Structure 1
């Protein structure tokens, strides 16, 4: 059975634009998924990347154009300049980690819930009430927002180290059990083709 390590950030616009398409691909191929939320800004600094605000204007301008185009391409509502971005992703990631440990619920829907709140709904996903609402919408107990914070913080930090060791440098980043790497929501089709034996 195939396996995918999924590195993502709850404040990444590209993670948002991935929606649940990767989960659909995994289900098609019977692949398991290990969800690994991480600090994307720390990942950039560890792997030679640059935070969006520090990039050359030409790179910022291209990013703005490309995000709008990709949102149209996948048919998703998108706000290029959300009211609450950047924000602290750690609380939502801790809640996600707590939800994952329950072994139930739809984790793909929870990623989509957090990222949609940020990039389409003008909500601050660092706020407790927003986190609880996202948990509820994805079918999880909202009380998970208040549980396992220390364990969540430890796993969040460990995910960053795992990402660096595995060769991930952005989000979303998908790595198969045979070390094939796919960076970006626009590479989900390639992941599908690879798992189909066509790439």
Structure 2
């Protein structure tokens, strides 16, 4: 029987961007059901002891850049190490993804997630800007204006908060984070373990 994988992430995470396409491919290969959970990573950090990037020690900031460069080269994925619009608030983008999932299903929402992540890390776009998000959705032949409107409703806000609460309850402290059979896996570099967990 196909398994379920909870996928916790923040749309602005570079490591989520680096792992997104690979995760989508392996979930599809296993026929796994993906529970898409964009969440408020700032709130998660505040509960779990994480720090916003600007508040981290210089050594940690430097190593993060080295890792991003290393993984970008290894995976042959383009990535601007210091994009124009980063750090960037991601609530609006996260809620657009939720609205998309509710209206069009998980597969379409996963595709939109990938487009939003690429917008930050490759295309130098501001994903906190509503018009930018509408444009990204329209490129996928979606009604971007309607999705943005839907994303501003109380029901979508409640879903966003529910995902964030679920992340905290699951022990999430970073992104991306995957949960299979109740076991958590942090980071795009743990996808081999996710692969094996979906095989069991």
Q: What's the TM-score once normalised by structure 1's chain length?
A: 0.93
Q: Is the 8 A contact 2:10 2:39 kept in 1?
A: yes
Inter-CA distance 99–55: structure 2 relative to 1 (3 Å threshold): same
Give 1 or 2: higher helix fraction.
2
Query: Taking structure 2 as the reference length, what is the TM-score of the superposition?
Result: 0.92
Counterparts of 1:135 and 1:76 in 2: how far apart (Å)? 22
Query: Distance between the aligned counterparts of 2:17 and 2:190, measured in 1?
Result: 14
Match of 1:160 in 2: 164
What are the equivalent positions in structure 2 for 1:31-110 lying under 5 Å apart?
A: 31-104=32-105, 106-110=108-112
- Aligned equivalents of 1:50 and 1:91: distance in 2? 21
User: 1:58-83, CA deviations, whole angstroms, 9 ceiling, x for partnerless residues?
Assistant: 11110010011111111111111111
Measure the CA separation in 1 of the matches of 2:101 and 2:16.
18
1:179 and 2:182 aligned: yes
In 2, the alpha carbon distance for the partners of 1:171 and 1:141 equals 28
Contiguous gaps of at least 5 residues in structure 1: none
Distance 1:187 1:147, change over 3 A: same
Long gaps (5+) in structure 2: none
Question: Which residue does 1:120 correspond to in 2?
Answer: 122
Deviating above 4 A after TM superposition, structure 1's stretches of 4 or more consecutive aligned residues are none
How many residue pairs match? The answer is: 196
Indicate conservation of the 8 Å contact 1:20/1:108, yes or no. Answer: no
SS for the counterpart of 2:103 is coil
- Deviation, 1:136, is 2.4
